[in-house]
Amino acid sequence: MTLNEFKKKAAWAALDYICPGTVIGVGTGTTVFYFIQALSAVKKIIYGAISSSNSSTVLLKKYGIKVLNINNFNSLDVYIDSADEINYQMQMIKGGGAALTGEKIIAEISKKFVCIIDQSKRVDVLGKFPLPIEIIPMALTYISREIIKIGGNPKFRKNVVTENGNIILDVYNLHIQNPILMEDKINSFPGVVTVGLFAKRSADIVLIGKKNGVEVIKK
Ligand code: 5RP
């Protein structure tokens, strides 16, 4: 089986976590693409969706799912998204698709974060996947220097402007032993919009697509 087939299995399993009549949060990426396809099969049971990115909005609308404005909601029951890496404490690196800011806002207001992954995303220590940071353009040199001081190797993501008009730094070479401390540290640099470490707001449920089914891990 391919990784895409594992992603698809996890995506379909996430339908079990949707309550009828509710508005759900929807992430971004290839795994979420499969989730949106799955969601279209049951779209009548939900009221609508809050989207984390323009690309997910386009897909949701294409599949006939109503997209609502997050600013009209104080909280959501469930947010369904994937991750680039997830450790055994359910803390994640996200932002490979540059949609980390929208993703973090939705995760923050959601009661439950259901993370759908293939097994390649599971790691002991976060950091092999370069950590994305959305920053405002004038902070590029300053933040790059600060990142080098904490042992990272920052690389400017070429040809990417986020939906908020910012840029992305991908940080290589990190071995993140304490994700909460690292999240706080990077958030403290002026000019950081969002760091793609989801350690303070980690996942609540992880669905891992595997050859013989879907493994469910709960906090
Ligand atoms: C996008 C994300 C995605 O969840 C992450 O990149 C995983 O993507 P995929 O499902 O394509 O492997 O954080 O910003």
Annotated catalytic residues are 103
Residue 30 CA: nearest ligand 1 atom is 11
Is 84 annotated to bind a ligand? Reply is yes
Tell me the one-letter amino acid at 140: L
Is the CB of residue 194 below 6 angstroms from any atom belonging to ligand 1?
A: no
> pTM for the full model?
0.97
Residue 96 CA: nearest ligand 1 atom is 6
Is the CB of residue 110 below 6 angstroms from any atom belonging to ligand 1?
A: no
Residues 103 and 8 in one domain: yes
Residue 32 CA: nearest ligand 1 atom is 10
Q: What is the pLDDT of residue 17?
A: 98
Residues 26 and 94 in one domain: yes
Residues 98 and 204 in one domain: yes
Residues 115 and 20 in one domain: yes
Measured in angstroms, how far is the CA atom of residue 79 from the centroid of ligand 1? Answer: 14
Is 81 annotated to bind a ligand? Reply is yes
Which H/E stretch holds residue 78?
A: strand 76-81
Residues 37 and 87 in one domain: yes
Number of compact structural domains in the chain: 2
Residues 35 and 70 in one domain: yes
Residues 9 and 61 in one domain: yes
Residues 33 and 71 in one domain: yes
Contact by Cβ (8 Å): 209, 120: no
Q: What is the pLDDT of residue 219?
A: 87
Q: What is the pLDDT of residue 3?
A: 93
Is the CB of residue 27 below 6 angstroms from any atom belonging to ligand 1?
A: yes
| CATH number of the domain within which 171 lies | 3.30.70.260
Residues 204 and 192 in one domain: no
Q: What is the pLDDT of residue 154?
A: 98
User: How do strand 23-26 and strand 192-195 relate by DSSP bridges?
Assistant: unpaired
| CATH number of the domain within which 95 lies | 3.40.50.1360
Is the CB of residue 31 below 6 angstroms from any atom belonging to ligand 1?
A: yes
Contact by Cβ (8 Å): 217, 206: yes
Helices and strands of the chain, counted as H and E runs? 6, 13
What's the rounded Cα separation, in Å, for the pair 196 and 199?
A: 9
| pLDDT tens across the length of the chain (219 residues) | 899 999 999 999 999 999 999 999 999 999 999 999 999 999 999 999 999 999 999 999 999 999 999 999 999 999 999 999 999 999 999 999 999 999 999 999 999 999 999 999 999 999 999 999 999 999 999 999 999 999 999 999 999 999 999 999 999 999 999 999 999 999 999 999 999 999 999 999 999 999 999 999 998
Q: What is the pLDDT of residue 1?
A: 84
Which structural domain range is residue 142 located in?
A: 131-196
Residues 108 and 184 in one domain: no
Q: Return the SS3 of 86.
A: strand
C-alpha 105: how far from its chain's center?
10
Residues 83 and 54 in one domain: yes
